[in-house]
Amino acid sequence: MSVLLEVAIRSERDVPGAQEGGADRMFLTSPEGLSPDLTATSAVLREAQIPVRVMLRLNDSFTTTGGEFTRLVGLAEEYVALGAQGVAFGFLDTDLEVDVATCRELAERLPGVPWTFHDAIDSCLDSRRAWRDLLKLSGLDAVHTSGSPRGLGVGYDDLLAAAQADPTAAALMLPGTDLLPEQVPWLARAGVGQFHVGVQARPGASFKAYVDSGHVRSWRLLLDS
């Protein structure tokens, strides 16, 4: 089975390292982890030779307003027009459950555009219910998750157990935050077929450094082994 490697990028200067290192896909956010501006997105997409997904988030919470939602739709359409392969978003309601209505409406406004449910599942009170809700949504082909809001250092055991218990969920999982090399084989054996690296692809594990092809290549070799 071919395992997908997604690398987080923040500017066009990260693109060469991700591509030369063997990434299958790049995930673009602003430096603050929100939706990047169109100028930055355009610069990345001009350089990209592999698929790029772009973050759709205008505030640092997992909620959105009607006005923001309209802006998100417009941004998504612009990103796709510029050449983005897909987008990433994730919304919860006030009960900390998946905001199915908002996610469904946004996905339906972007027909044919694949998307990632990003991070929010780790803040849901009932993860089993969250997975059931997500499986109802069209276009979803990845769920960025660490099993805990505090990352895989805390959530790894729970995430592995969830993957082992539900092959459908495992196939959607995109483990990422604080992912360690030694966790990859166990997750892969449980049916996880895609992985995300962020600071792990940068010298010093710092976003102050650009994505390094050697760091990415080490993850590529691990996933291919």
151-161 pLDDT tens trace: 999 999 999 99
Please give the pLDDT value at position 1.
60
How many other C-beta atoms can be found within 10 angstroms of the C-beta atom of residue 33? 15
Q: Say yes or no to pLDDT of 140 above 80.
A: yes
How many other C-beta atoms can be found within 10 angstroms of the C-beta atom of residue 21? 22
Walk me through the domains of the chain, giving residue ranges and CATH numbers: 4-224 (3.20.20.380)
Q: Distance (Å, rounded) from C-alpha 138 to C-alpha 125?
A: 23
- When the pLDDT of each residue in the chain is averaged and rounded to a whole number, the result is 96
Q: Say yes or no to pLDDT of 64 above 90.
A: no
In order, the DSSP letters of 144-189 are EE-SSTT-HHHHHHHHHHHHHH-HHHHHHEEE-TT--GGGHHHHHH
Please give the pLDDT value at position 66.
82
Q: Beta partners for 94?
A: none
